[in-house]
């Protein structure tokens, strides 16, 4: 026997092992036919001679090869039912004899080497690469899902914070009935109307009203104020009802009672207004700063059912078509009120010019001319009276392309609807994010399970590959004493 140092090292790539065995006549040229017949016998033995204890472990012949046959043979020997041998030297136990014959067929003509070479090629070329591909796929998926979970967790925090800000901004208690709280908010309009009232309370507008009162007191001392339905009285009442703190000194006014903030007149004020025949009573309560009121107005503007057009003719006479609620909401309100102020000032100025000085009433020598002037003055006063009837309540002040009775009605109604929809969207968003997070977690668990299975099969196939490699090397070493054989596996799977 050759010494260890004098043995010839023979390296055989796993993919060339079958050809090498055939070229050295280590296996039959028709090894595949013999192997097919042997596998048919294994299939038959599984049906007839496999112990019941092993049927769950080996459900089909597709997973049974040389190593598995040896395991079955060892189990059958340990559970041998009949001992002894017949006159040919074979076991009298039929089951044991069947599996011993199968092992002998493997040994015959090195059929086990042919099967081992075939399986090694399959494992290195197809099975193990697929296992690694499955592992990489699941690892990438788990990484993606983990990143996705992080993004969803951040979105959930933002959505939860947004919902909390919504409740806090509208002074809602999530522990109470939200619908009832929103119904209460329905009686209050957005805080943007504070700006309208601030214009009505401004010093320039107040000077116009003072001048108007003085004008009436000088020219018509005997006229009753209620005949003209004083504009100042109406405005004071409405402002007091708008702000509870301003009405504390007026016990006869209560913020809990609905206030008629819209009048009955159908006449237009200014050249760009439209008449609206809708009555409305809205309880204007104290209202703190409204969260996202600008966004609410923009959202209203985008709704098709809320896109009604009206015409606005500016002071210069140009016509402009605009939505009842548009992005220039604040500017339009301010411009509309300034136009009304200009209109009032001009009418009062015209009346002043027609009257001249109050001293003309005592000039006797020009009585006839004075009477004519009085007729002219009375005519102008009647015109002013007609104009004041058009603006004698809050409706006429709030008339125009942006603020009208129908708009106030819709805001009070749509306000509640928009709040409900906004809250519902926020809650649905939170639930959707939670659902996505649960789906990610479930998918992540499934992917982790698939990864574990892929790792198990990968390691199992690697172990089988190593056993096959050792089996072939040992068999060849025993058949070629002067050589040392080494099966070279593909470098990617070594």
Q: What pLDDT sits at residue 424?
A: 83
Span 126-160, pLDDT tens digits: 999 999 999 999 999 999 999 999 999 999 999 99
Strands 8-13 and 483-488: parallel
Span 4-42, pLDDT tens digits: 557 789 999 988 999 999 999 999 989 999 999 999 999
Lowest mean pLDDT among 105-114, 147-156, 225-234: 225-234
**Torsion angles phi and psi, residue 254, rounded to 5:** -135, 130
Lowest mean pLDDT among 31-45, 83-97, 391-405, 407-421: 391-405
Are 280 and 262 contacting, i.e. CB atoms less than 8 angstroms apart?
A: yes
Global pTM?
A: 0.53
Structure tokens at 491: 């470098």
Lowest mean pLDDT among 59-63, 212-216, 290-294, 447-451: 290-294
Alpha-carbon distance of 163 to 430, in angstroms, equals: 9
Structure tokens at 4: 């260890």
Span 293-315, pLDDT tens digits: 344 444 434 433 333 333 222 22
Rg (alpha carbons) of the chain, rounded to whole number: 50
Alpha-carbon distance of 429 to 443, in angstroms, equals: 21
Structure tokens at 230: 């004083």
Alpha-carbon distance of 332 to 330, in angstroms, equals: 5
Lowest mean pLDDT among 163-172, 265-274, 337-346, 408-417: 265-274
Domain regions of the chain by residue span: 189-403
Q: What pLDDT sits at residue 346?
A: 62
Q: How many CA atoms lie within 13 A of 316 on its CB side?
A: 4
pLDDT greater than 80 at residue 417: no
Give the CA distances from residue 63 to residues 46, 328, 335, 458, in Å, rounded to whole numbers and listed in that order. Answer: 11, 77, 87, 15
pLDDT greater than 90 at residue 470: yes
Residues 6+ apart with CB under 8 A from 320: 311, 312, 313, 314, 401
pLDDT greater than 90 at residue 210: no
Are 427 and 299 contacting, i.e. CB atoms less than 8 angstroms apart?
A: no
What percentage of the chain carries pLDDT values higher than 70?
Answer: 47
């Amino acid at each position: 026997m050759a010494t260890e140092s004098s043995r010839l090292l023979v390296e055989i790539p796993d993919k060339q092992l079958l050809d090498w065995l055939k070229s050295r006549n280590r296996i039959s040229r028709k090894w595949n036919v013999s192997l097919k017949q042997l596998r048919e016998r294994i299939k038959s033995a599984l049906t007839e001679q496999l112990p019941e204890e092993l049927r769950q472990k080996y459900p089909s012949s597709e997973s049974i090869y040389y190593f598995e046959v040896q395991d079955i043979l060892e189990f059958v020997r340990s559970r041998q039912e009949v001992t002894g041998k017949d006159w040919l030297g074979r076991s009298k136990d039929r089951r044991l004899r069947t599996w011993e014959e199968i092992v002998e067929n493997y040994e015959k003509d090195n059929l086990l080497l042919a099967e081992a070479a075939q399986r090694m090629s399959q494992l290195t070329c197809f099975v193990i690469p697929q296992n690694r591909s499955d592992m990489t796929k699941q690892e990438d998926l788990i990484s993606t899902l983990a990143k996705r979970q992080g993004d969803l967790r951040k979105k959930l925090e933002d959505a939860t914070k947004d919902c909390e800000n919504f409740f806090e901004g509208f002074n809602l208690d999530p522990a109470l009935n939200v619908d009832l709280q929103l119904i209460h908010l329905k009686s209050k309009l957005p805080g943007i109307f504070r700006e309208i009232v601030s214009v009505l309370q401004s010093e320039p507008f107040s000077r116009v009203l003072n001048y108007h009162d003085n004008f009436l007191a000088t020219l018509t001392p005997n006229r009753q104020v209620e005949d003209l339905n004083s504009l100042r009285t109406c405005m004071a009442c409405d402002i007091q009802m708008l702000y509870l703190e301003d009405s504390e000194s007026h016990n006869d006014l209560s913020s809990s009672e609905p206030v008629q903030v819209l009048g009955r007149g159908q006449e237009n004020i200014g050249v760009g207004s439209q008449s609206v025949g809708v009555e409305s009573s809205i309880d204007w309560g104290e209202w703190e700063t409204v969260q996202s009121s600008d966004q609410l107005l923009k959202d209203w503007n985008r709704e098709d059912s809320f896109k009604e057009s009206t015409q606005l003719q500016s002071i210069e006479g140009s016509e402009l078509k605009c939505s009842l609620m548009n992005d220039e909401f604040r500017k339009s309100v301010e411009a509309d009120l300034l136009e009304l102020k200009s209109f009032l000032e001009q009418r009062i100025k015209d009346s002043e010019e027609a009257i001249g000085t109050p001293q003309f009433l005592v000039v006797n020598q020009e009585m006839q001319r004075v009477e004519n002037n009085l007729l002219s003055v009375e005519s102008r006063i009647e015109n002013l009276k007609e104009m004041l009837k058009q603006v004698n309540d809050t409706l006429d002040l709030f008339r125009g392309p942006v603020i009208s009775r129908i708009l106030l009605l819709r805001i009070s109604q749509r306000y509640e609807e928009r709040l409900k929809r906004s809250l519902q969207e926020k809650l649905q968003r939170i639930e959707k994010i939670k659902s996505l997070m649960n789906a990610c977690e479930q998918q992540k668990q499934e992917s982790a399970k698939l990864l574990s299975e892929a790792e198990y099969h990968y390691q199992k196939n690697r172990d089988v590959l190593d056993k096959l490699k050792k089996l072939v090397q040992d068999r060849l070493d025993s058949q070629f004493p002067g050589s040392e054989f080494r099966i070279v596996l593909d470098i990617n799977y070594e």
